[in-house]
Structure 1
């Protein structure tokens, strides 16, 4: 998995995507790490392009995909 660093984000440290399993992994500045399951690759691409990764995560990912703390 290639990590995408997000130094401009006030909430996220980095995130990455596993194309084979469709798992989006997000690491937060508070130290938490979560896996979001069954995330389609186009949604990951949209997150990469979003001006605010944290807002995109909150609006598009959090309430729509299963997740687990890692």
Structure 2
């Protein structure tokens, strides 16, 4: 799993995707790492190219996919 660093994000430190298990892992700058489950790879691709990674997460992942703090 390769991490995408987000140095310009005020909210996210980095994120990664496990395509075999469809898990998006997000590490937040204020602490905490979360797994989001059953996330399609297209959402990960969208997040990689988004101007705002935090906004992409909020609009396309949070409240939609099951998650757990790890």
State the aligned residue count: 70
Q: Mark the runs of 5 or more structure 1 residues left unpaired by the alignment.
A: none
Aligned to 1:17: 17
TM-score calculated relative to the size of structure 2: 0.97
What is the correspondence of 1:1-70 to structure 2 with a 5 Å cutoff? 1-70=1-70
Moved over 3 A (4+): none
The alignment's TM-score, normalised by the length of structure 1, stands at 0.97
Describe the superposition over 1:19-63 as per-residue Cα deviations: whole angstroms up to 9, x where unpaired: 100000000001110000000001110111110000010111001
RMSD, matched Cα: 0.5
